[in-house]
Amino acid sequence: MIHLIHKLHGSCSYCGVPRLKSICATIEKALRAGDSLEDIEPELFELQDEMEKVLESSELYLKGKEDEGA
């Protein structure tokens, strides 16, 4: 799990999604400190919520770009 969160954290840095990056950093730090998945369950739900927000925003952004080209 830590490997996946670490990769997502780096991707967030590259893509410019600071809120998602911050949540990943918090989860990664907790996992490295030895916290269990149960311990970080609230952060995992927050991660899921933020990922959904990013998807929604990207869909709106891409839709706007399509409309500009039309």
What gap in Å lies between CA 60 and CA 47, rounded to an integer? 20
∠ Cα 28 36 14 (to 5°)? 15
Enter the tokens of residue 38: 């149960």
What is the percentage of the chain residues whose pLDDT exceeds 70?
A: 97
Q: What is the band of 6 on the pLDDT scale with cuts at 50, 70, 90?
A: very high
Kindly tell me if the per-residue pLDDT of 66 is higher than 90. no
- pLDDT band at residue 60, thresholds of 50, 70 and 90? confident
pLDDT band at residue 63, thresholds of 50, 70 and 90?
confident
